[in-house]
Amino acid sequence: MYKKPNSDLWNGRVDEQDGEFGKRWHQKIEFLEYPYNQKSGIAFLGFECDEGVKRNKGRVGAAKGSDELKKAMGGFAYHQKTKLYDCGKIVANEDLENSQEELALHVSSLLKNNHFPIVLGGGHEVAYGSFLGLYNTLEKNEEIAIINFDAHFDLRQSKIATSGTPFAQISKLDTSFNYLCLGVSKAVNTRVLFNQAKALHVEYILDTKMTYLFIEEIKDKLDKFLEFKDYIYISIDTDVFPSYQVPAVSAMASRGVELNLVYTVLEYLLKEYKDKIKLVDIAEFNPKYDVNEIGKRAVSRLIFDIVDFFNI
């Protein structure tokens, strides 16, 4: 079910004496409703969903993530050139598969109106809806490269959709499957999942190799992976970060990938491949388990940097 934007989520300090250069996001955000046919900008669309995590026997609570992140972003200083839109949210129900289809419809509409969607989950079941939205806008033979920052492959084989199946679902669509997972933990992915990744020709970098010591190798792998691809979809599962940096997730990482390294890799992607990147989603931020708002502050700042790097 689609819910219109809620202006009450956006609040912050007001410095009237500083004029336009003293504005913050809560003063610049505009509220855009489906079908989103206004001047292009960065579009925040929520996906309020716990059903995939629940089905996957994880810690529920990420459904409230999108609203909490919007609350956290209101106080950011406005340095951008582009318009910022709150586009409301999709509220999922127990029919997860239908909710993913509804999300895809809204993502497609945003893309067709030349917006840059940043989809705020919810569990990682958001990824299938995000990808499907982009996929449904493609011309024949155009290829999408998927870059997923994640401790998990999320390639589980299941008769029903869960937070652990989105990329397996994508692999079954009538399209080439180009998937690179950054930050894979050998400790939490079984041999079955590694074998599944191999069978699907998935590329990955283990969390043990996602450090600044290997930054040039990481960039080189990205460049080779993205060669000849038409579009890029970036998914960020917040459980990729160490639990001491982002404890507010559905499944905490005992090792993880440092926030600053993810910032660096994202900056590289957004500078080198800006025109190919079509959307980003953020998954599994779970405010139910946040400590002193550490997770909310870290993840919302990540979104700020994505917007600032892109700065269209």
pLDDT in tens, 278-303: 999 999 999 999 999 999 999 999 99
Q: How far, in Å, CA of 245 to CA of 295, rounded? A: 7
Output the domain CATH number for residue 270. Answer: 3.40.800.10
Question: What is the domain range of residue 268?
Answer: 2-310
pLDDT band at 73 (very low <50, low <70, confident <90, very high): very high
Q: Are 205 and 224 in contact (CB under 8 A)?
A: no
Q: Please tell me the predicted confidence (pLDDT) of residue 91.
A: 98
Domain count, the chain: 1
Select from 132, 122, 177 the least CA-distant residue to 155.
177
DSSP 3-state assignment of 277? Answer: strand
Q: How far, in Å, CA of 64 to CA of 249, rounded? A: 12
DSSP 3-state assignment of 93? Answer: coil
- In the chain the first and final C-alpha atoms are separated, in Å, by 30
Buried b / exposed e over 44-55, threshold 16 CB at 10 Å, is bbbbbbbbbbbb
Whole-angstrom CA distances from 77 to 43, 176, 244 are 17, 40, 26
pLDDT tens, 8-31? 999 999 998 998 899 999 999 999
Q: Per the structure block, which two tokens stand in for 168?
A: 């397996």
